[in-house]
Chain A
C-alpha cells in the first residue's frame, strides 16, 4: 500500500532556516543542511526547501545549499523560490534536487510549467499554491482565490481553475498551502485540501497549520491528502518526525515505519 508522506518544510532566508507567521516576523531556527540530515535520520519521507526571499529579491536560489543537502540525505527533496525558467530548474535538478516547486512566477508565466514538464518530466514539477478563503464571492466559484508573493498579492484567479490549468500544463503534484491556516498550528484547512485533492488527478500535499499529530490524521482521513507538510511543530522541538509517525500508525494511517 502506498504510504502517506510526511514532509518537513524548511523556509530559507540568508542560508538559515527561519519560521514566521504568514511570512512575517521570521526568526532563525538553524542550519538547513544539519536540520535536513536530522529529519532524514528521524524518518521523514521527503523534504522541501523554500528560499523565501529569492523571488522578492529577484536573485537565483542558493545552489550550494542544494548541493550540500543532496549529499546529506538519500530521500527526494523539492526546492522552490526564485525559479524563473528552465535554466534555474536545470541548475536545481543537477545540484541533486528531485523536484522543483513553482508558485508566484508560474502564475505570471504559466508556460514555465509546460516547458519544465516537457524538459524534465511532470514528476519534477510541483505547483505550490497559496489560496485565500473568499466565501460567497461569485468571482471565485471554489470559494478560494490564489494569492502570490507570500500572500501579499491577489491574482483574481480561482483556486480550482488554477489547479486544473496547472495539471493540464503538466505539473506532477500540487502543494496546497492555506493562507488562512499558515503558521497558526491550529490544523490544516480540511475543506480547502479536500476541494483540491478531489478536483485533480495528481497527488496533493496539504500545507499550512500543522500543530499536532491529530491534525495530520485529520487531513489524511478527511481531506484525501497524499502527503502533509510540517514545519513549526518539529522545528521548535515540540514534536519529532518519528513521534508523529508513531501517532499516525496508531490511528491506522499507512506510514513508512522502517528507514
Chain B
C-alpha cells in the first residue's frame, strides 16, 4: 500500500488518481500508524511552508516522517513536500523545516518582468545524474510546475535534475538514499509524469 500523507496542505486527489491510473491503491491519510506501515510514502503539498509546518506539528506527523525516512521506505516528495524536507525556507519571513536533506528554499527574483511568479506551466527537466526514478524518461522532458520558491540543496550530489527559470537554474529533482523529491508535479504531468510514478512503484532504494 502507498500512503499519501495528508497534512491539510492542498489537494491530494490528483496524486491518488494518478496511482489509480497505474493500477495501484494509494490511501490519503493523516494516521501515523497507517503511514508507518505503508510500503511506500508520498509527501505532496501545495501552499505555504509555515502553515504546512504548523499542520505537521499539530497532527504530530514529524516523528512519523522521520521514522519512515530512517526505515528506508521509499519516500517521494512533491512540490511543497519537497521544499520542506530541506532545512529552511525563506517563505513567510523564514521557516525552519524538516532537515531531511541539507539545503534552503528561496524565492524567484526575476530581472525580466515578463518572467512571472509563480513559475506556472510545463518546463524542461535536465537530468544531472542517473537515478532509477528517472529511468525511461527522456532528458529535457517537460513536467508541470507551479511554485514561487525553489529548492537549493547544499550538496550538489543531492541534485538529480535541473530546470531553468527566471535567472535561476534550480534543483527540479533531489535525492538522498530512500528519498526522491520533485519540485514539479508528476501527478499532473501526463504520461511522462505517470512514468516517474511507475518508477516509484518499483523503486527499491
- The interface bits of chain B over 93-122 (1 if a CB of A lies within 8 angstroms of the residue's CB, else 0) are 000000000000000000001101111111
Known A120-B10, A121-B10; further 8 A-B contacts with Cβ < 8 A: A40-B190, A98-B188, A121-B47, A123-B146, A172-B146, A198-B113, A227-B121, A258-B138
Closest CB in chain A relative to B43 CB, distance in Å = 17
- Whether, in the assembled complex, B83 has its beta carbon less than 8 Å from a beta carbon of chain A, the answer is no
Listed residue (B11, B117, B147, B165) with the most chain A CB atoms within 10 angstroms of its CB: B11
- Whether, in the assembled complex, B194 has its beta carbon less than 8 Å from a beta carbon of chain A, the answer is yes
User: Which stretch in B14-22, B57-65, B154-162, B172-180 binds the other chain?
Assistant: B14-22
Closest CB in chain A relative to B113 CB, distance in Å = 7
Q: Which residues of A contact B144 (CB under 8 A)?
A: 75-76
B residues 1-55 with Cβ under 8 Å of A? 10-11, 13-14, 17-18, 20-21, 46-48
- Whether, in the assembled complex, B142 has its beta carbon less than 8 Å from a beta carbon of chain A, the answer is yes
Question: Which residue numbers of A lie inside 8 Å of B, CB to CB?
Answer: 1-5, 40, 45, 70-71, 74-76, 93-96, 98, 120-124, 172-173, 197-198, 201-204, 224, 226-227, 256, 258-259
The chain A residue with its CB closest to the CB of B186 is A74
Nearest first, the 10 A-B pairs at minimum CB distance are A121-B47, A93-B11, A96-B13, A256-B122, A203-B116, A256-B142, A123-B146, A2-B123, A259-B190, A3-B122
- Whether, in the assembled complex, B164 has its beta carbon less than 8 Å from a beta carbon of chain A, the answer is yes
Cβ-defined contact, B189 with A74, below 8 A: yes
Given the interface contacts A74-B191, A121-B10, does A45 sit within 8 Å of B122 by beta carbon? yes
Which secondary structure dominates chain B's binding surface? mixed
Cβ-defined contact, A93 with B118, below 8 A: no
Q: Which residues of B contact A96 (CB under 8 A)?
A: 11, 13-14, 17
Q: Which residues of A contact B13 (CB under 8 A)?
A: 70, 93-96
Q: Which residues of A contact B147 (CB under 8 A)?
A: 123
Listed residue (B118, B122, B164) with the most chain A CB atoms within 10 angstroms of its CB: B122
The chain B residue with its CB closest to the CB of A74 is B190
Closest CB in chain B relative to A224 CB, distance in Å = 5
Cβ-defined contact, A70 with B17, below 8 A: yes
Cβ-defined contact, B122 with A98, below 8 A: no
Q: Which of A40, A120, A172, A224 contacts B120 (CB 8 A)?
A: A172
Cβ-defined contact, A201 with B116, below 8 A: yes
Q: Which residues of B contact A204 (CB under 8 A)?
A: 116
Closest CB in chain B relative to A82 CB, distance in Å = 19
Q: Which residues of A contact B47 (CB under 8 A)?
A: 120-121
Cβ-defined contact, A258 with B188, below 8 A: no
Cβ-defined contact, A45 with B121, below 8 A: yes
Cβ-defined contact, B14 with A2, below 8 A: no
Cβ-defined contact, B142 with A258, below 8 A: yes
Given the interface contacts A93-B13, A201-B116, A203-B116, does A75 sit within 8 Å of B121 by beta carbon? no
